[in-house]
Structure 1
């Protein structure tokens, strides 16, 4: 009847009570005939003695305490869960405070060189070396801030499973080679040697080439950031029947053992020094992990400790080589002059975009509100309207619907140019009648190419 785990404990205590006469008390489990489960009981016994003190018998009880034990266990488990949750909330709150401090630091840092460069540009001779140097500084710092904001948005989209991959067959040798070349200048500026070793066979995966390049690029940036002058980094690809591996190894500062399990957590900072000479928001590796897992793969890091370098290995499922497609016809030449209407309430953004588009041989007209944009469109008759979403008077969605409702403008191409860049925002733009959706700030070369395509489509319609 006794549970096997309780038998010896129960006998030992009983024999001790018999030997000493001390009261017997124990919690043990019984299972009676025709009952499927063991139940907890509290057993108690007291010695009954005669006038000389000799034990003549024992008197005891056995009380069913099973429901109380189960409630007690549930309460203990609940308390443990609440303690763990409270600790997790404290840790999350601490990391949030650290992240906000880091975010403030990282967003403020580019503002100083931008402000200084604007001061120089206002006083330097146009086209002088000093002016060109200031322009290059502004361009680099804006790219840096854009990358920080993109990383924040990407982490949020991944955590909410909002990222949609544009999958195609990707040959990883070629993708890694191109990405390494794109980042080689970063290593050269840091005086870090960068080596490349490709697989001896094609390495095909099913994935989004932009996101796969982002994975490799983030790991390369990480290697460049944490490897000092005179060090080296190595990117390599290996391929098997079922998997493709990408290795990024460096001779840099290495990783503390206690940091390895937490390395891919968002906002995890390996550089906690006050000057934060390594910079960053601690999002790069979290993005790598999220994007790799979206591709059905995994990523892990190894390091022998401080100053021993580190290695990151990305594992992706391999696919068979795709069938060779017939070569496509060459792209048509650049379109002739197009008429572009920019509807943007930020005057600086509107004027600088106008200047950039006019460099691309387009005729550009500006409007700074929704109603002004509609009135201008009726007179200017643009081929393409570049329209912000957050506009005074009426928002960009209303502008698009109004243009689409005008029979004389239904062939006009509409491009949403906005900071609202979630999948829901893109769908809402399509529903309103936009042909394209671009996030701010746009890549101007890519924007000019899109405008050329839309102008050709508009004029050939």
Structure 2
């Protein structure tokens, strides 16, 4: 129920001495279920500067009726009601009343509640704890424009004064009421006398000072301890009122003695006597601290609004909506636009109509703005602007009171967000494709087609980078029908520069808008593929660049950030998925290979579970050991029982080390027992499998039979050892040969010196007969030495080729030893060496070649004489010790070092091979001795106690049976050889040799013609018709072989059958064979003994009469 008793002040009575002012009284309805609080709000209004008729209502059921019947000018609506439904009351009032009174809502400090109230139509919203008389009155007066002055306290005073003139009793009664009212209101009320002293002070001001009325009355501002400056100002203002009769109004800041500070508004008003004289000054002071703060807050809010308006990133503009007579929105006009809106749209549309604003130019916006104005409800929209192809988010809200036609619009560009949302949906769709596709080519074709259509691309390719980082291999690619198929291998340096490669190796995405202008690309090669823009996203694995996702366009293109983000996100999904697909395919292929390998491997494949101790073994176990895996235990221990006992301990130690160490693999070789009992060498290779915690849980490997390989290795080691020995021997032989060649050079040159020297003396000096004989002896001896050296070399050559043959007969070793002694007799006499011989007188024969056996004995005797110093002793013994004949030659000479003794019979070995050696020779004599002795079935040994203690050589040769050892009759003397009348053709390009042979043969009675060349010989042959031809081999233009072949091609009448001897310095076995093959009957090497040559010629002539 409405309270008919208003709290407004009684109607003032008119006083003669007060100016009369009519104050319009406003009817205010307070809706609050709390009566006490409603009374307090009424009281606050009554204490404000204004005239109000207060109505209160606890329920909202009769509010509409009261508004219609009582002429309510304003409503104060308290939201703290049961159910909080009073905010909804505003909607009902607006819909049921022709004119809804302005409504002030009072509630909690709740922003959302305030927004609800204001959106519902409230004129203002006040926070309950901050409501004062001033804020309440200001809110009402702002809501209710008034055209009259507020009478305030002056009207009340005039009313009171007018009432006092009626009667003293009424005056006393009014005075009491006045004092009571002044004592209860929060404003400070007071009176000053002519001296500026307080004569009345109401209680609120006394409370501020902390004084009683008695303590305050009669004192001025100085005496009440006001600051001097403030006290002086107030006293001047009081005096000014008394003097001028003018009202003084001002504000000041004051801190009371009790420490209460505030901002105060005060009015000093003159009180006039009936004659118009100022008798006193009335004052009132109001605490306006809250209002000042509110005003400051309002200014700050306005500044914030203006700052927000100009600085927010969102676009903001205000429009006025124009309606026609049918209340239909027909146009809008933009009244204000912030800078952000101008930047977003690209134009300032202030003052323009809707059709001129590109952002909202469509006619459908009339209805949208009209709806916001009519309902007062905000509207949020997401719209696509066709003109600039961008998305915007709009929020429209009505501004002002119910009659306002102004709408505020906040908007922002959400194109990127919409693209992100579309990209997210696209990626979600791609993820679904990943879930159902399992092949890499299917994934690339599907993803490539979708991203190509979505971003309007030409090609999408997935490239794998080779290990060197030089080539890109594209196995998977999607392309439009009109674009190039880029599957293939590409050398990176032919398409991109080092700057591109540096970026992708640093895991940077490369964006190229125009391949023909970008310095990182090779323009002509991209042009050939019709690629003019691309994005390349690298993928790295384990720190290495492995793949590239390439997005290509056939036209230059500016890539948007959301597109690049999408491509990056796509690569983040596609790379792991493709890698997983490849790994799954590789795993499947690996498993298939593993399955096949268990059949292909010549051994057993195993999988050992360390946690259970169980081991899987393939059927290869049977091929390896003759045991089927299903016939034996699957436990690891079974295998251990098959390992060779000598290998078990070491193998277990190695395996434990592997399991505890950081390696993930191992290789062992050991032996296992086959089912038939024999041992196999096996090679065991395995890999350790770890769980996610890094623990080894499985061991997978294979065991193969390497028995054959081990045998081959052993054989190879033996072969290598033999080869090593052979190489060492060859190296030693080479070293010996090198030393031998040095010795040969020395030994061959040494005899030349006396030969050349004495020959020159014989030609240039007159020597006596004795010196001539001596010179000729020296020359002959040294020539024989050279011939012997050459013969030794030839013998060694024959021995090495196995071509040395023996002319075996029964040989008397006694005669052989005596002949050898005669040969060295001169050397023995020259060194005064004592020769001691002990020859068994018995006559026994050995089977052999007399010349070769004499060569053996002569070699041993020569060495003994050579190495025995002057005055030394050489002992020669011949003994017959069945079944051997033994020849011992001992000397007191140089001896043999123990280290050299095992090598004394080696070819080309000399104990002293240095340039300072004391004794000459080639180091071949003893080698020939051993070979010839062994060729005769005998043995030869050397013994020496060391250097300086002499040496003993013992030769054992098998004896012939006694019945074959008979006395031989002396051979008949060889008849003398006669060459008289023998026609001989001598062919040699060397003048000296040719002349010597011709001269010598002529001395023997032969008829000789000499030819200096093969051609000359052919010419001589046909006219001379020789009995025999002697020809050199090494000649210019045509050698002896060629000459002989040409001769043999002639007829018998032309001399084609003439006997021929090859007389040459080419003394090798091959030379002998070549000479016989060319047509020579005999091969004689230079130098040749004259007697040997005569015998050969005579024998050959006799054989070919």
TM-score tier after normalising by the smaller chain length = 0.7 to 0.9
**Match of residue 338, structure 1, among 970, 978, 981:** 981
Superposed, 1:40-439 pairs within 5 Å as 67=707, 69-70=710-711, 73-74=714-715, 76-125=717-766, 128-320=769-961, 321=964, 331-335=974-978, 337-339=980-982, 340-400=984-1044, 402=1047, 405-407=1051-1053, 409=1055, 412-439=1058-1085
Compared CA separation, residues 391 and 10, structure 1 to 2 (3 A): closer
Distance (whole Å) between structure 2 residues aligned to residue 82 and residue 33 of structure 1: 38
Distance (whole Å) between structure 2 residues aligned to residue 72 and residue 431 of structure 1: 49
Instruction: Answer yes or no: is the 8 Å Cα contact 1:338–1:383 preserved in 2.
Output: no
Alignment correspondent of 2:1095: 449
- SS in structure 2 opposite 1:258? coil
Q: How far off its partner does 1:273 sit?
A: 4.3
Distance (whole Å) between structure 1 residues aligned to residue 806 and residue 1067 of structure 2: 15
Alignment correspondent of 2:676: 34
Structure 1, residues 175-206: CA drift from partner, whole Å, max 9, x if none?
12112212221222222222322223223122
Q: How far off its partner does 1:31 sit?
A: 5.4
Q: How far off its partner does 1:410 sit?
A: 6.8
Q: CA RMSD in A?
A: 3.7
Alignment correspondent of 1:59: none
Q: How far off its partner does 1:441 sit?
A: 0.8
TM-score, reference length from structure 2:
0.36
Q: How far off its partner does 1:285 sit?
A: 0.8
Structure 1, residues 316-337: CA drift from partner, whole Å, max 9, x if none?
2222326667777654444262
Compared CA separation, residues 275 and 326, structure 1 to 2 (3 A): closer
Distance (whole Å) between structure 2 residues aligned to residue 375 and residue 72 of structure 1: 69
Instruction: Answer yes or no: is the 8 Å Cα contact 2:1030–2:1063 preserved in 1.
Output: yes
Distance (whole Å) between structure 2 residues aligned to residue 94 and residue 429 of structure 1: 33
Q: How far off its partner does 1:98 sit?
A: 1.8
Instruction: Answer yes or no: is the 8 Å Cα contact 1:232–1:251 preserved in 2.
Output: yes
Distance (whole Å) between structure 1 residues aligned to residue 1100 and residue 928 of structure 2: 33
- SS in structure 2 opposite 1:276? coil
Question: Structure 1 stretch 444-453 or stretch 217-226: which is displaced more?
Answer: 444-453
Distance (whole Å) between structure 2 residues aligned to residue 161 and residue 457 of structure 1: 29
Distance (whole Å) between structure 2 residues aligned to residue 410 and residue 116 of structure 1: 44
Distance (whole Å) between structure 2 residues aligned to residue 452 and residue 32 of structure 1: 81
- SS in structure 1 opposite 2:676? coil
- SS in structure 2 opposite 1:277? coil
Distance (whole Å) between structure 2 residues aligned to residue 386 and residue 409 of structure 1: 14
Question: Structure 1 stretch 281-290 or stretch 400-409: which is displaced more?
Answer: 400-409
Q: How far off its partner does 1:269 sit?
A: 0.9
Instruction: Answer yes or no: is the 8 Å Cα contact 2:941–2:954 preserved in 1.
Output: yes
Compared CA separation, residues 322 and 429, structure 1 to 2 (3 A): farther
Structure 1, residues 206-255: CA drift from partner, whole Å, max 9, x if none?
21112111111111111111111011112222223422222221111111
- SS in structure 2 opposite 1:407? coil
Compared CA separation, residues 263 and 379, structure 1 to 2 (3 A): same
Structure 1, residues 144-203: CA drift from partner, whole Å, max 9, x if none?
222222212211210111112222221211112112212221222222222322223223
Compared CA separation, residues 220 and 70, structure 1 to 2 (3 A): same
When Rg is computed on C-alpha atoms for both structures, the one with the higher figure is 2
Distance (whole Å) between structure 1 residues aligned to residue 834 and residue 1065 of structure 2: 38
Distance (whole Å) between structure 2 residues aligned to residue 273 and residue 426 of structure 1: 35
Distance (whole Å) between structure 2 residues aligned to residue 455 and residue 135 of structure 1: 32
Unmatched 5+ stretches in structure 1: 1-5, 17-22, 44-62
Question: Structure 1 stretch 412-421 or stretch 227-236: which is displaced more?
Answer: 412-421
Q: How far off its partner does 1:444 sit?
A: 1.0
Question: Structure 1 stretch 108-117 or stretch 397-406: which is displaced more?
Answer: 397-406
Question: Structure 1 stretch 352-361 or stretch 401-410: which is displaced more?
Answer: 401-410
Question: Structure 1 stretch 422-431 or stretch 249-258: which is displaced more?
Answer: 422-431
Instruction: Answer yes or no: is the 8 Å Cα contact 2:864–2:893 preserved in 1.
Output: yes
Distance (whole Å) between structure 2 residues aligned to residue 191 and residue 130 of structure 1: 24
Compared CA separation, residues 70 and 173, structure 1 to 2 (3 A): same
Instruction: Answer yes or no: is the 8 Å Cα contact 1:39–1:64 preserved in 2.
Output: no
Higher relative contact order (CA 8 A, sep 6+): 1
Q: How far off its partner does 1:28 sit?
A: 7.7
Instruction: Answer yes or no: is the 8 Å Cα contact 1:124–1:131 preserved in 2.
Output: no
Question: Structure 1 stretch 82-91 or stretch 135-144: which is displaced more?
Answer: 82-91
Q: How far off its partner does 1:378 sit?
A: 3.4
Distance (whole Å) between structure 2 residues aligned to residue 85 and residue 422 of structure 1: 26
- SS in structure 1 opposite 2:776? helix
Distance (whole Å) between structure 1 residues aligned to residue 1018 and residue 896 of structure 2: 57
Distance (whole Å) between structure 2 residues aligned to residue 360 and residue 397 of structure 1: 28
Distance (whole Å) between structure 2 residues aligned to residue 72 and residue 380 of structure 1: 73
Distance (whole Å) between structure 1 residues aligned to residue 673 and residue 650 of structure 2: 20
Compared CA separation, residues 415 and 74, structure 1 to 2 (3 A): closer
Compared CA separation, residues 29 and 405, structure 1 to 2 (3 A): same
Unmatched 5+ stretches in structure 2: 1-643, 654-659, 661-667, 685-702
- SS in structure 2 opposite 1:229? coil
Question: Structure 1 stretch 397-406 or stretch 257-266: which is displaced more?
Answer: 397-406
Distance (whole Å) between structure 1 residues aligned to residue 717 and residue 977 of structure 2: 72
Distance (whole Å) between structure 2 residues aligned to residue 92 and residue 331 of structure 1: 46
